[in-house]
Chain A
């Protein structure tokens, strides 16, 4: 009997350890979902995020057989007092051809701000084919009080863009990242 109960206790211990391992594993899995989600979205482009690094334009054949209409929408997040607009609201481009669109920003306040623009393409699948060689959204954009600026964005549309997409929208949202940008500067200093 004593032996039996010892056995069952050590059996219990082993099983508990296995189950605790599952629990810890699943807690880790919740955090693993973050990079997994990112990779999944990058591969499929379903969350409409464009790449955050510059694409390199190699001379590719321009597809003159179809035109793609791209609309630009700008908005500022709640509590971000800048003026922000696209100089061109809508462009029609051939896939493979280089284009430039300028964005105008003005810090209308008496305070210095650092902004971060976050892009979003709709429909999301088009994001994979929107290749930017230069974009203000790759970096933080600081503006002193009252300062204004023209921010360029150069891009081409990949000719591989699915045929059924004739029109897409690129939206930029400006976020106020002054606090965290200063934090980084202070850490580096």
Chain B
């Protein structure tokens, strides 16, 4: 790269940079887009969280008191959709935008114009989805899994809006995934070989491949629902020769890789944080890469474990049971490696490390309840109970979301150049940690005792536990306002300036550039040792 062109590039960037709202609308800078994604995800997290508060308020005591059942169903459905497609996935994409170019020594993402688009269609999708809640008949009420015939025969006309919004979300994440793959394939600095890439880059690369493999399948599924409902096709309609169980096969063929889309980047984040605060190299780097790949491949052959009670032949149930249990082997490798990294390290417990440690313990609890659910004969008891709700909230809230919070605390000083308010951060951590367990742990018990999910009312014997669960829920919701306050403070650049390395023991290209990270980094590729 000649100096002349570099300077020309620079001039080009700086002289035409618009200010105010236009800066954000037209930006193609990976850091700006990363910030947009992260704020959007946080707003959606609070929106979906508000819906969870409605759900928990209704379930505070038995009987119907606050909302009617149809609205309750809309709340559970839209809560799920928003948290999956609006909070967790965009937050990971935002982190990828900020970090992948900085970690591989690239000046920006490979396709910056498309990057702008893939973000800005996302608010459109969620505007459509949320608007449907205020229309006649209300929004989608068939669960985020939109099983046929609930979404075809028994749904209202706003289902069309649901379908379009899912299409747009899908297109957004596919574009984001293509961008990540092209960036990682073509933009690595000279010397950044595959096996030198940080694990966050590795896990995101594999996640991006999962995304382009299964998001189109979701698009196909919603399209079939659309034509079944409005154009008289019979994909899922038994009267016309279709099969409603086939919906579940297609949906979960997307759905199971989707849950790994929501956890693999988390593995990358934890693999970055644990070594820093243990002041050791990550134990078993290569095995981490292979474990991630195995998890991704296995995710395509386990989908029917969501469907054990649909009347599958015993042979198929055994196959899906063993395939599912097999996934715990590579996942176990990861947990082992993190623990081995900490072993005899000189540990310190800064806020990102606290979240990472909570992740390791609580994600493992979620993984173990997943192993219980994988056992076919007992799944007949657990199916569609609060045990399942407990399981996937442990892996998604204390798994994916805790990892995102850990990531934000870890890289925030690099982004703003100032240390965040550590007192507020510790309050946020401890309040979240305690309340999240009060919220989700008793769900195991009510689930095992037979409380069904997605129902606005319940039998009297579950009343005490549900009161605790709701209180935990309100406390967890309020704890996130501490996070909001902290983030606003951080964006206003309060706090002590930090060094370039920020954390003693942090290694990687992003810690070699100045803090705050300049608007343009690595216009000249760095030298990789």
Q: A177-B239, A180-B232 are in contact. Are A37 and B216 (CB under 8 A)?
A: no
Write the nearest CB–CB distance from B279 to chain A, whole angstroms: 37
The segment out of A8-16, A61-69, A99-107 that lies at the interface is A8-16
Number of B interface residues, CB 8 Å? 39
Residues of chain B contacted by A34 (CB below 8 angstroms): 224, 235, 246
Which single residue of chain B is at the shortest CB-CB distance from A122? B311
Whether B405 sits at the interface, judged by CB under 8 Å, is: no
Residues of chain B contacted by A52 (CB below 8 angstroms): 241
Contact of A15 among B185, B215, B240 (CB under 8 A): B185
Q: A11-B186, A30-B219, A34-B246 are in contact. Are A20 and B213 (CB under 8 A)?
A: no
Residues of chain A contacted by B111 (CB below 8 angstroms): 12, 16
Write the nearest CB–CB distance from A168 to chain B, whole angstroms: 13
- Contact indicator A77/B239 (Cβ below 8 Å): yes
- Contact indicator B5/A22 (Cβ below 8 Å): no
Residues of chain A contacted by B215 (CB below 8 angstroms): 23, 26
Secondary structure call for the B interface: helix
- Contact indicator A177/B240 (Cβ below 8 Å): yes
What are the interface flags for B178-207 relative to A under an 8 Å C-beta threshold, 1 for contact and 0 otherwise?
100110011100000000000000000000
Which single residue of chain A is at the shortest CB-CB distance from B181? A19
- Contact indicator A19/B217 (Cβ below 8 Å): no
- Contact indicator B243/A47 (Cβ below 8 Å): yes
Q: How far is the CA of A44 from the CA of B181 in the complex (A)?
A: 39
Secondary structure call for the A interface: helix
Residues from 106 to 161 in A contacting B, C-beta threshold 8 Å: 116, 118, 122-125
Residues from 408 to 457 in B contacting A, C-beta threshold 8 Å: none
Residues of chain A contacted by B253 (CB below 8 angstroms): 33
Write the nearest CB–CB distance from B250 to chain A, whole angstroms: 5
Write the nearest CB–CB distance from B261 to chain A, whole angstroms: 14
Residues of chain B contacted by A47 (CB below 8 angstroms): 243, 245
Whether B281 sits at the interface, judged by CB under 8 Å, is: no
Residues of A within 8 A of B (CB): 1-2, 4, 8, 11-12, 15-16, 19-20, 22-27, 29-31, 33-34, 37-38, 41, 44, 46-49, 52, 77, 116, 118, 122-125, 173, 175-177, 180, 183
Selected A-B contacts with CB under 8 Å, 11 pairs:
A12-B186, A23-B178, A26-B215, A27-B220, A30-B220, A31-B224, A44-B313, A49-B243, A123-B313, A176-B239, A183-B232
